[in-house]
Chain A
Amino acid sequence: MSSSILWRGPTVSVPFHGRTDEHSRTVIAALAARGLQAVLVALIVGIFSFVMMQALPGDAAYRIAAGRYGYDMMDAASAETVRAELGLDQHWTAQLADWISALAKFDLGRSLVYGTPVMDEIAVQLGHSLLLAAGAVLASLLFALPVGVAAGLRPGGLVDRASLGLSVLLRAIPFFALGILLILVFAIRLDLLPVAGFRGPEHLVLPSITLGLGLAAVSSRVVRDAVTDAMAAEWQLFSRTKGLSTRLTMFRHVLRNAALPVVAYVGVQLAYLIEGVVIVETVFAWPGIGHALVHAIFSRDITMVQGTALTLGLLYVALNLCIDLACRGIDPRTRAAGRTGPRS
């Protein structure tokens, strides 16, 4: 739940945040629900960006003319040309309609600051952000799976209690503060890894660990609970009774059953991941979409704000869809009778 909002993990076990899997009986329905969400994202981002545009101080026509032709080459006539061309003399409702219809045609316009097409910038940044997100999820699994399974196999044991304490402490450190601490220790004091930027694979390590640790703080507990439940289930005892070895029971039954809540939980963490990407990219000067968004807000480059926010929003929807489908893949019950995952 509080997962949904900003960047700290869920706390109350209320199904939360866009996990509409109780409605997605078929793949088609899942696609339709996420498609609707995508349209909603585009509308919200578009309208917000339009309002931002209107809220800019000064005359938009002059500003755009200056951006196009340079401050020295621009005059009243060129501003009027721009005004007529872009329909800036129309009523705001007509302008909003134009704005949204341009968005519907995937015309994201040009950066107000650099003059380059927003689409080109995003094409480069998206790859960087996806790389970071993948690194973060990988890092979080590397932390959460061993710790969670070890804790879940012996509830109340030493590993369980230690990892609970660690998880509580880690969750209280926001991403950017964790990033600062890791930079201070590993990049500056120990001089093991680069501080920031993007050149080689070693630049990926610190930002991924920052994000991964934050994600693992909560997901290790989800893994732990899932394993505890699977171990306590009757079918686990049955498969032991019928003669399967501990190892076989573990891999064939326990881990597969435990995987479902864990994968579903990755879906819950997606909001957290996207938000984390925005912040962590800024901390580590990672040339991705989140960094570009923050930079664009700072420099009031509104077309860029719109493009990057839209891409992040759609990325969020797309990843959610992947999780929906993955849950169906793991749990055959969700496919059969329109029943859905154990998050009911």
Chain B
Amino acid sequence: MSAHRARPQAKRPSLDGGRILGLTLLGLLTLAAVVGPDLVGQDPARQSLLEALQGPSGRHLLGTDHLGRDMAARLLSGAQLSLFLAGLSTVTAALPGTLLGIVAAWFGGWPDRLLTAFADAVLALPGLLLVLMLAAISPGSWWALYTGISLTLWVEYFRYTRQRARVVLAEPAVEASQLLGIGPWMIVRRHLMPEIGPGILTIAAFGAATAVTAVAALGFVSVGIRPPTAEWGVMMTELLPYWRESPFLILQPVACLFMTVLALHLSVGGGVRP
């Protein structure tokens, strides 16, 4: 009885211009992260105390931080780190998550119960707590962060795929294909993938946004990536005390994070929910 789910779609104001904007922004950010550091040509770790807290100039496009490090180089290096970790954890969450979802729906029985129980166990705790506890085992290491994020994110793919696959695999068309002797791989590709593809992409976009946010949040509260690595959250912590001298500085990593998350959210389209 999902009265509120079967609502007509036409009433919902759509933001599809937003989707184009999101994808463009995402493309630009990725491009900047890949080629930007070479274009800027500055070492994000090189300190120069004589040049500390400078405004934008020809030499330092976005100014310098409290240790005289080039802001543009640090922001771009932070973008590289964030996008890399987000991409990596999205792939390692999406592949096993989707695959195990199909396995659970296909076989049913004890594999299904076992996998569902494991997924429920992960969900017993809020995701951040799990990530924090993993980060606590090996503080400051990026792989603990990455493992924690992947471990919390795969469940979404699993639950979504399992739910949809159970419906699709019960359809007469699938039964007919099986009777015709078509193999499981082909059935998954022909019948299941077109059905779950868009949903998986949506989950991936929001999952990547979550990963970017998580990396920055943990860096900001000093239990994730550690200084002197150029990471947006770490930069916010470092620059917060200098808001009076140069309020422009602290806003730069905040704006970068905001743009990245916004781009990922908008790239899904449809505003709030697909």
Task: Tell whether A and B belong to one assembly.
Answer: yes
Please, how many residues of chain B have a CB less than 8 angstroms from a CB on the other chain? Answer: 71
Query: Are B133 and A5 in contact (CB-based, < 8 A)?
Result: no
Tell me whether A316 is interfacial, beta carbon within 8 Å: yes
B-side contacts of A233, CB under 8 Å: 3
Query: Are A172 and B261 in contact (CB-based, < 8 A)?
Result: yes
Query: Are A168 and B133 in contact (CB-based, < 8 A)?
Result: no
Tell me whether B167 is interfacial, beta carbon within 8 Å: no
Give Cα A48 to B129, complex, Å.
11
Query: Are A16 and B156 in contact (CB-based, < 8 A)?
Result: yes
* A 169-186 binary contact with B (CB < 8 Å = 1; else 0): 101111111001100100
Query: Are A169 and B159 in contact (CB-based, < 8 A)?
Result: no
Tell me whether B106 is interfacial, beta carbon within 8 Å: no
Query: Are B137 and A275 in contact (CB-based, < 8 A)?
Result: no
B-side contacts of A228, CB under 8 Å: 7, 11
Give Cα A20 to B55, complex, Å.
54
B-side contacts of A226, CB under 8 Å: 4
Tell me whether A55 is interfacial, beta carbon within 8 Å: yes
A-side contacts of B274, CB under 8 Å: 11-12
Tell me whether B98 is interfacial, beta carbon within 8 Å: no
Query: Closest CB-CB distance, B140 to chain A, in whole Å?
Result: 10
Known: A40-B121, A312-B126. A6 touches B213 (CB 8 A): yes
Interface size class of A (residues with CB under 8 A): 35 or more
Give Cα A1 to B243, complex, Å.
36
Give Cα A168 to B267, complex, Å.
12
Query: Closest CB-CB distance, A327 to chain B, in whole Å?
Result: 14
B-side contacts of A49, CB under 8 Å: 133
Query: Are A342 and B132 in contact (CB-based, < 8 A)?
Result: no
* A 219-240 binary contact with B (CB < 8 Å = 1; else 0): 0010001101100110000000
Which residues of chain A from 229 to 283 have a CB within 8 Å of any chain B CB? 229, 232-233, 261, 270-272, 274-275, 278-279, 282-283
Tell me whether A297 is interfacial, beta carbon within 8 Å: yes
Query: Are A177 and B127 in contact (CB-based, < 8 A)?
Result: no
Query: Are A13 and B5 in contact (CB-based, < 8 A)?
Result: yes
Which residues of chain B from 204 to 224 have a CB within 8 Å of any chain A CB? 206-207, 209-210, 213-214, 216-217, 220-223
Instruction: Among B3, B220, B265, point to the contact of A229 (Cβ < 8 A).
Output: B3
* B 236-273 binary contact with A (CB < 8 Å = 1; else 0): 10001001100100100010011001100110100111
Query: Are B5 and A14 in contact (CB-based, < 8 A)?
Result: no
Query: Are B128 and A6 in contact (CB-based, < 8 A)?
Result: yes
Query: Closest CB-CB distance, B253 to chain A, in whole Å?
Result: 9
Tell me whether B18 is interfacial, beta carbon within 8 Å: yes
* B 122-138 binary contact with A (CB < 8 Å = 1; else 0): 01111111111111111
Which residues of chain B from 134 to 154 have a CB within 8 Å of any chain A CB? 134-139, 152-153
Chain B residues proximal to chain A, CB less than 8 Å: 1-5, 7, 11-13, 15, 18, 120-121, 123-139, 152-153, 155-156, 159-160, 163, 199, 202-203, 206-207, 209-210, 213-214, 216-217, 220-223, 233, 236, 240, 243-244, 247, 250, 254, 257-258, 261-262, 265-266, 268, 271-274
15 contacts between A and B (CB under 8 A): A1-B206, A4-B126, A6-B128, A12-B199, A13-B5, A17-B123, A40-B120, A156-B11, A167-B272, A181-B254, A188-B243, A278-B129, A294-B223, A302-B136, A342-B3
